[in-house]
Amino acid sequence: ITNQIVTSCKNYISDNGYSRLWDIPKDELYLRLNNCLKLFQTYIHIFEVTKKKIANTKTERPFDFSEMYIFGKIFTFRDRIEKPLNEDFDKFLELADDLKKKDLKIMSQTMLKLKYIFNQLDKLFLTIVGARSVGIVRGIYMDRDKEESTIPWNLPPNSGVGCIG
């Protein structure tokens, strides 16, 4: 049941994978995230009530399951959902929107890099529900380092000609 709940919440948040989080209106996104959190709380509460009922019934065998085993995936996903609900993420979204809307003619090098990273994140369809983000971010930096490197990547190996030996 836990896996089904987490999968259903992922689909609910992203419109079955058709919407990027950046494209969902902020109020709608926060509503969806909060609805998932309420579902998790209700599921855990019902589990606790059922566990107490079974413990009080002498004919039933008590639960011998690890709650961390049952709820571990929900706890992990809940932590990932709660991140966008804090103020820092809200400021991040506002900054990203401002950078997208404004055509700044004079930007410092840092601002240009930040705008580039925002554009790359937008293109790569990064979501809080994706688990591949480490590999994707690593790919961003590897690609950028190859393109903007001060050391050429495509030089042939040194053949030893002209080396003092």
Q: Are 118 and 100 spatial neighbours (Cβ–Cβ below 8 Å)?
A: yes
Residue 17 backbone zone (phi > 0: left; psi -120 to 50: alpha; other: beta):
left
**What is the tally of structural domains in the chain?**
1
Band of residue 32 on the pLDDT scale cut at 50, 70, 90: very high
Structure confidence at residue 126 (pLDDT): 53
Residue 12 lies inside a defined structural domain of this protein: yes
pTM: 0.55
Segments forming the whole domain that contains residue 81: 2-85
Residue 41 lies inside a defined structural domain of this protein: yes
Band of residue 165 on the pLDDT scale cut at 50, 70, 90: very low
Structure confidence at residue 59 (pLDDT): 80
CA distance 78 to 6: 9
Residue 154 lies inside a defined structural domain of this protein: no
Residue 69 lies inside a defined structural domain of this protein: yes
Residue 143 lies inside a defined structural domain of this protein: no
pLDDT at 130 over 80: no
